Amino acid sequence: MYSYYLNETDTSSQFCTVPVINNKRTDLNTHAELKWLLNTCNIDQSSLLFVDEVDLSYYDLFGSLKIVLMNADKFPEKLEALKESVVETFNCQKGGFAYPSDDTVDKQDSSCCALIAEKFALTAPKLLVGKGVSRLLLAGILLDTANLTSPQCTSVDRYMSTLLLDGAGRFGCNGLYQILRSKMQDVYQLSVAQILKKDFRKWTRTGKAKSRGSRLVVSNVGMSAIEISIPQLLSNYDTSIQEIVLLQQLEKLRLLIIVSGYDHRNNIKEMLISAESEDLLKDLLLFLDMHAPHLKRHAMYQPGLITFRHYYYWNTLFSHHRSFLCCKKNLDKT
């Protein structure tokens, strides 16, 4: 939607603004809510462009590439070479400033879609008349703010959702949100691997070499947010554990964190942690006991796995973001 805004408000006509979705096209099949939303907005899925379908480095060679990072603060590792082409990072999280060469960085607490809608309203309000545009933006706001009930919901989110109310159509805001949530939770046709990769993020930290001549220490932390409970994920225990361990090995993760928030307000939080070694897990557990003593803990042991132990914690006040920061902080100390 932001690329549409940039294209419609650009008066120079020097650039062609093209939205590129930072996923593979095949990943779209794991997002039933997005496919439903695109269909109801009359958007042809074949017209979308995914990152695996275009060679951005080709355009970068000729200096004709300018990139706006949307709702992210840095590139995936394999696209890091394109960082010099970044001209704007929109809605970068506070403290997540990655590229000093950025011309513009908006650091806001509001939903990304609310900020885009605000730009439309201020400079090109006529573009919000179409129900498709309004529905796409409204859906994003409702999902980001748990139907405007999240403690992080801002006045901008509430105001823009009211302005975009026409996008809800006959469903109303509550109905639209419930449909989207039910679509997101309908993962029973997906494999465990698809569920884990549906909303997966990876962070890489390069530390100092431990001794002269040794390699730099690289620490990878992965987080997978799922729409079902941890017990549901582990209902087929053997297969689930194998897929969790396989994902950790393929992504070369020292820590894999699986978080779940699966009620209608996204309140109930669960966290399953898989560490690469028993020593790392023991250090992490000690760290969590000191910094988050209110979390309950349950240990799970899988026969045949000596170096892998899996635990999960849950608490209604322990957010996904806090859980990741807590685990990453401990990893930085090791």
Contacts 24+ apart (CB under 8 A), 138-141: 138/113, 138/164, 138/165, 138/167, 138/168, 138/173, 138/176, 139/37, 139/113, 139/167, 139/176, 139/180, 140/1, 140/111, 140/112, 140/113, 140/114, 141/111, 141/113, 141/114, 141/117
Alpha carbon distance 196, 190 (integer Å): 10
What is the mean predicted confidence (pLDDT) over 72-92?
76
pLDDT digits (tens, 9 = 90+) for 143-195: 989 899 988 899 999 999 999 999 999 999 999 999 998 888 777 778 888 88
Pick from 206, 328, 225: nearest CA to 270: 225
Mean pLDDT lowest among 40-54, 234-248, 259-273: 259-273
- What pLDDT score does 183 carry? 87
Mean pLDDT lowest among 237-251, 260-274, 294-308: 294-308
Alpha-carbon 24 to chain mean position: 15
Q: Is the pLDDT score of 268 beyond 70?
A: no
Q: Is the pLDDT score of 135 beyond 50?
A: yes
Pick from 30, 59, 48: nearest CA to 226: 30
pLDDT digits (tens, 9 = 90+) for 83-111: 888 888 876 555 555 565 455 555 567 88
Q: What is the CATH number of domain 192-333?
A: 3.10.310.20
- What pLDDT score does 252 carry? 86
Q: Can you identify the CATH homologous superfamily of domain 2-54+108-185? A: inorganic pyrophosphatase (n-terminal core) (3.90.1640.10)
Domain boundaries, the chain: 2-54+108-185, 192-333
State what percent of residues in the chain have pLDDT above 70.
73
Alpha carbon distance 321, 96 (integer Å): 13
Helix (H, G, I), strand (E, B) or coil at 261: strand
What is the mean predicted confidence (pLDDT) over 16-35?
87
pTM of the model: 0.70
Are both 2-54+108-185 and 192-333 of the same fold? Answer: no
Instruction: Supply the Cα-derived Rg of the chain in whole angstroms.
Output: 21
Instruction: Fill in the DSSP letter of residue 21.
Output: B
Q: Is the pLDDT score of 317 beyond 50?
A: no
Please indicate whether residue 81 or residue 269 has the higher confidence score (pLDDT): 81
Instruction: Fill in the DSSP letter of residue 12.
Output: S
